[in-house]
Amino acid sequence: MTVTPHHCISILSKCKNLRTLTQIHASLIKSGADTDPFFAGKLLLHGAVAISDGLRYAHRLFLSFPDPDVFMFNTLVRGFSESDSPRNSILTYIEMRKRALAPPDSFSFAFVIKAAANLRCLKIGFQTHCQALTHGLDTHLFVAVTLISMYGECGSVEFARKVFGELPQPNVVAWNAVVTACFRGVDVVGARRIFEAMPVKNLTSWNVMLAGYTKAGELESAKRVFREMLVKDDVSWSTMIVGFAHNGRFDEAFMCFRELQRLEMKPNEVSLTGVLSACSQAGAFAFGKAIHGFIVKSGFSWIVSVNNALIDVYSKCGNVAMARLVFDSMREKTSIVSWASMIAGLAMYGHGKEAIELFDDMIEFGVRPDGISFISLLYACSHAGLIEEGEEWFRKMTTVYDIEPAIEHYGCMVDLYGRAGKLQKAYDFICRMPTPQNAIIWRTLLGACSIHGNIELAEKVKQRLSELDPNNSGDHVLLSNVYAVAGKWKDVAAIRRSMAEQKMKKSPGWSLVEVDKTMYSFVAGEKRNEIRVEAYEKLNEIIPRLRIEAGYVPEGANALHDIQEEEKEDQVTKHSEKLALAFGMARLPKETTIRIVKNLRICRDCHTVMKLTSKVYGVEIVVRDRSRFHSFKNGSCTCRDYW
Ligand code: ZN
Ligand code: ZN
């Protein structure tokens, strides 16, 4: 059967990938129509714009034409403008001008301006604006809208408003663009005024307001707009969910998602990953699991980003087996994010050997490791005490994979040595670093000195830290912990005094616990409320029982991390993770694992209480603190008292 060129073009609209495109191209060559500008132009457009992996092919196709026309040039300028190499778009445009074909049209300008916006290059954007002006196209609606967006993207709100102001009859797209530009330039008031002045608003106008407010962290305004909206689409919903999740308002993210389900609307990929990100940040295991069920039932399980988010939820909720189940069931494992999330999950749980094995599998699978996956790997080595493995991978990173170690990788190595008590080695390692040292690196070592009680080195490190970051209260606390462990109470008091004099504020400790798919939070030093009273009542029953049945003696020394003044037993009992534990014990059925998320590192005393509670009451407790998981069962913890 002979295939006519017209037939080829008609199947083009159904072509979704490069493979099919090359087949269509082959048929065109056979019929001899491949040099016809009409057919070639269609093929070029589809490769450059419609499919995701066809741009390079389109470029080669373009180069094979002796004299491409303006349409072909524009197609390529457009394709490159939205690719990850927008610079090529500008180079193609310059080539077009050099060849002195027909003058550039509105499309040429709009695409080049878009490339400038994606490059965040105001200079190129400005020059193109001037050229459009000389061709009388600067107030052409299509060009003007991209100009407004470009100026917004480059942080030049003033110019964006000026271009808008010169439009005789702006359409709704132009109005939306100028509102977006204002938000980009953090001119929230300006954005609202323009929005209110709009003669006609479409759904996008409302969504632009939602996105702007949530990005600016003005969630109350976003909620007001959301309520006022008569029609909402999936973008409106996902914007709210992601906005809540990003701003740490997890409960509201959950509520919003529940409402979406209640209305029987189909959530999009962004809503799903947004609500899952809230779950993983809050450690909301039960809610995350419920969403997992929904995802499977509604047929979303093929979406790679949704699976990656699920792996993250289970990892961060301390259920590494479920994370693995999701990972293993993924049909497509080509995304490095899937591997890196799984490796990070194993690492956080202290499964160092498994993390390294999976890293090997990844390389075998043909996925090239990136800098982030190396952070997870080195973290795994340090938390499992695998020093030699860590050193070897750190070396291989540059010699085999050609990845320049970033400050985070150096930090992992310092942590690796520090945890193992090789403090001098860590110190020497920092001194030999080729990149400039930062406060975080020294702070990691100071933390290690605190755990291993090395006062001499701690003082030396503190000196370096004071030079880099003199006003950090955390460092003072760490040093005072070193003194406290060694029983040097005078020095502790001196540090406390100097902190008080410099009026440093410590970030308050908080803990979250999930009961009936709701997150309950306990913040250090907050006022009495019903939840706190309930927790205290239960705690007053737990602590005496631990004393009698397990010989618990409260510790003062290392408990300094989130209390203000002298370390009294009374204050140690007020630590938020103890309250979260007590509340979980009071509310949850006995066989349920109590899952707690804590923003700071768990202190030694709370750690002891968790261990003893797991034994005396026969419950399982999982605590995610700032750096890792602790899984308590039968009186011991998976961290082997080493964190
Ligand atoms: Zn504590
Ligand atoms: Zn532990």
176 C-alpha to center of ligand 1: Å? 50
State the distance between the two ends of the chain, measured CA to CA, in whole angstroms: 71
Residue 562 has a pLDDT of 41
Q: Which residues contact 313 (CB under 8 A, 6 or more apart)?
A: 276, 279, 280, 285, 288, 292, 323
Q: How far apart are CA 483 and CA 459, in angstroms?
A: 10
287 C-alpha to center of ligand 2: Å? 25
Closest CA relative to residue 565, chosen from 555, 577, 553, 556: 556
pLDDT cut 90: percent of the chain above it: 47
Ligand number nearest CA of 511 is 1
Handedness of CA 543, 546, 551, 554 (dihedral sign): negative
517 C-alpha to center of ligand 1: Å? 25
Greater confidence (173 vs 527) lies with: 173
Could you give the domains of the chain?
Answer: 405-507 (1.25.40.10), 510-637 (no CATH)
Closest CA relative to residue 75, chosen from 54, 392, 66, 84: 54
- Could you tell me the two tokens for 299? 């047929």
Ligand number nearest CA of 567 is 1
Ligand number nearest CA of 609 is 1
Using the predicted structure, report yes or no on whether residue 389 has a pLDDT greater than 90.
Answer: yes
Q: How far apart are CA 306 and CA 208, in angstroms?
A: 25
487 C-alpha to center of ligand 2: Å? 24
Residue 451 has a pLDDT of 78
Q: In what order do the strands lie in the sheet with 621-624?
A: 518-523, 510-515, 594-598, 621-624, 629-633, 636-637
Q: Which residues contact 605 (CB under 8 A, 6 or more apart)?
A: 554, 555, 556, 558, 559, 572, 575
Q: How confident is the prediction for the chain on average, in pLDDT? A: 86
Q: Which of 102-111, 221-230, 622-631 has the highest mean pLDDT?
A: 221-230
Opening angle at CA 373, ends 371 and 375, nearest 5: 75
Handedness of CA 22, 27, 30, 31 (dihedral sign): negative
The tens digit of pLDDT for each residue in 7-60 reads 877 888 888 888 888 888 888 888 888 888 888 888 899 889 888 888 898 999
Paired strand residues for 515: 518
Q: How far apart are CA 339 and CA 334, in angstroms?
A: 9
Residue 575 has a pLDDT of 86
607 C-alpha to center of ligand 2: Å? 6
Residue 569 has a pLDDT of 43
Ligand number nearest CA of 350 is 2
Q: How far apart are CA 332 and CA 304, in angstroms?
A: 7
Using the predicted structure, report yes or no on whether residue 192 has a pLDDT greater than 80.
Answer: yes
CB 55 within 8 A of CB 33: no
* Model confidence band, residue 568 (pLDDT cutoffs 50, 70, 90): very low
Buried/exposed 277-296: b ≥16 CB within 10 Å, e otherwise: bbbbbbbbbbbbbbbbeebe
Ramachandran class of 453: left when φ > 0, alpha when ψ lies in -120 to 50, beta otherwise: left
Return phi, psi of residue 633, to 5°. -155, 135
622 C-alpha to center of ligand 2: Å? 9
Strand ranges in 390-533 using DSSP code E only, listed in sequence order: 510-515, 518-523
Q: How far apart are CA 402 and CA 396, in angstroms?
A: 8
- Taking residue 408's Cβ as centre, other Cβ atoms within 10 Å add up to 15
Q: How far apart are CA 109 and CA 140, in angstroms?
A: 10
Greater confidence (401 vs 489) lies with: 401
Q: From the CA atom positions of the chain, what is the Rg in Å?
A: 30
- Could you tell me the two tokens for 582? 């007590």
| Whether this model's pTM surpasses 0.85 | no
Instruction: Average the pLDDT over 94-100 and give the result.
Output: 87
Ligand number nearest CA of 637 is 2
pLDDT cut 70: percent of the chain above it: 90
Residue 426 has a pLDDT of 93
Ligand number nearest CA of 580 is 1
CB 481 within 8 A of CB 493: no
Residue 38 has a pLDDT of 84
Residue 567 has a pLDDT of 38
* Model confidence band, residue 558 (pLDDT cutoffs 50, 70, 90): very low
* Model confidence band, residue 131 (pLDDT cutoffs 50, 70, 90): very high
Ligand number nearest CA of 349 is 2
441 C-alpha to center of ligand 1: Å? 24
317 C-alpha to center of ligand 1: Å? 20
Ligand number nearest CA of 554 is 1
Greater confidence (113 vs 476) lies with: 113
571 C-alpha to center of ligand 1: Å? 9
602 C-alpha to center of ligand 2: Å? 8
Using the predicted structure, report yes or no on whether residue 485 has a pLDDT greater than 80.
Answer: no
Instruction: Average the pLDDT over 540-550 and give the result.
Output: 91
586 C-alpha to center of ligand 2: Å? 22
* Model confidence band, residue 572 (pLDDT cutoffs 50, 70, 90): low
558 C-alpha to center of ligand 1: Å? 9
Question: What three-state secondary structure class fits 262?
Answer: helix
Ligand number nearest CA of 569 is 1
Instruction: Average the pLDDT over 360-383 and give the result.
Output: 89
Please tell me the total number of residues recorded for the chain in this structure: 643
